[in-house]
Amino acid sequence: MKNMITATLTLLGFVLASPLPADESVPAVSNGLKVKITRSIDSIQVEHDGRPVTIRRNQDTKHRIRDAFAKTSRPCPPFCIQPLTLAPGVETIGERKMLEYLQQASSDDDKVLVIDSRTRKWVKRGTIPGSVNIPYKLLTQDNEEEIADLLEERFGVHRGDTLLDFSYAKTLVLFCNGLWCGQAPTNIRKLLRLGYPPHKLKYYRGGMQAWESLGLTTVKPDA
């Protein structure tokens, strides 16, 4: 009878809400932080420029996003809203998956590299801990030899006489300023044209604007 009622309601256009998972149905127990990342995660540890950094959310519940990312409208082009899917096989990720990749990159940087695709001017204002800055202009320059060197030295691509071997290439997680920023998409599209496997490219579309809107930790370069 229950199944018959459910089927009838579905046919009539009613959406039946699923029950909350067990760990989401009760209030979280605080471990000292007022603002946690998830119900079960207070913070995570990553390595940035050779030193440990704790990523957590800002504990001031009255904190507001910086003016640079509070702005809602910029001229398009060039600041157009980026597609949710940049290319077939390239996964678009959110903050929780980004945190997983940051931990992987800190523990095994031979397999994962998180890349801030922005120009140095933007990076000086703050970046995501555990990322490295490889500005989009490095991959879009005319010097193919320098691009090949970058692929080999930083991304784990093996270079033959005439071909690039991506068998052991790292998984690259790329971001820039936000949904309106074209710097990470430019890097991704260039890498695809060079033959980089799409499944080894991840796009954090929310970028710095989404990261800061959640109050997550940022760091500034030493110099």
| Segment 129-141, tens digit of pLDDT | 999 999 998 988 8
Q: What is the CATH number assigned to the segment(s) 41-213? A: 3.40.250.10
For Cα atoms 169, 171, 173, give the angle at the middle one, nearest 5 degrees: 140
pLDDT of residue 161: 74
Query: Is residue 1 pLDDT above 60, yes or no?
Result: no
Query: What percentage of the chain has pLDDT greater than the value 90?
Result: 73
- In terms of DSSP bridges, do strands 51-55 and 158-159 run parallel, antiparallel, or are they unpaired? unpaired
Instruction: Pick from 17-21, 67-71, 117-121 the range whose average pLDDT is largest.
Output: 117-121
Q: What is the pTM of this model?
A: 0.84
One-character DSSP codes across 3-25? HHHHHHHHHTTPPPPPPPPGGGS
Give the tokens for residue 140: 């879009």
pLDDT of residue 223: 54
Model confidence at 15, pLDDT cuts 50, 70, 90, reads very low
pLDDT digits (tens, 9 = 90+) for 91-145: 999 999 999 999 999 998 789 999 999 999 999 999 999 999 999 989 888 788 8
